[in-house]
Amino acid sequence: MIARPLLSSAFRLAARPAPSFASKFSPRISPIALRYLSAETRQAIDKAVASAPVVLFMKGTPETPQCGFSRASIQILGLQGVDPAKFTAFNVLEDEALRQGIKEYSEWPTIPQLYVDKEFVGGCDILVAMHQNGELAKMLEEKKVLVPAEGGESK
């Protein structure tokens, strides 16, 4: 529990790659080109998905989510104790090509979207359900993406 403020500041850091990602493919993509995924966009998203073990495509940033479902997803990842060093968030509102492209890429029409080890996990409903039934904790543990347990009792 003491990790919460730390976590959120680290999330802020973790979210930084977004601008450079945005600059990578904002220019010269016309609305028509958005209908299908260009090789260039696919490549950029491939890179984004692989940029950390846990990747969330969301509306807004971890500290200021712009949508309740994105906020809920971030909160769940925080509650689960996801290691900020292993987490990256991409703000789809900053980049129209990403916003449209990620839907095609994942064959999933909504935001947020969670990837773990480059595999699509689901949207917010799925995250909430997995959080409640214990599947999420199990998966994150297996993927070794949680904050390491501390050596001593920290009470």
Partner 1 sequence: MSIQTPMEDAMRRKITETLKPSHLEIHNDSSLHAHHQAMAGSTSKETHFRVVITSEAFRSKMQPARHRMVYALLKEEMAMEGGIHALQLRTRTPEEEEKQSAEGKGVPVEGGDVAAA
In the complex, the residues that contact partner 1 under the rule CB under 8 A are 59, 66-70, 72-73, 92, 99-100, 103, 107-112, 120-130, 132
- Which is closer to partner 1, CB of 125 or CB of 142? 125
CB neighbour burial string for 67-91, b if at least 16 within 10 angstroms, e if fewer = eebbbbbbebbbebbbbbebbbbbb
**Shortest gap between Cβ of 66 and partner 1 (angstroms)?**
8
- Which is closer to partner 1, CB of 19 or CB of 68? 68
Q: Are 128 and 76 spatial neighbours (Cβ–Cβ below 8 Å)? A: yes
Chain mean position to CA 46: 13
**Shortest gap between Cβ of 20 and partner 1 (angstroms)?**
21
Q: How far is CA 126 from CA 67, 75, 132, 138, in A?
A: 17, 14, 10, 14
**Shortest gap between Cβ of 129 and partner 1 (angstroms)?**
7
- Which is closer to partner 1, CB of 10 or CB of 66? 66
- Which is closer to partner 1, CB of 29 or CB of 67? 67
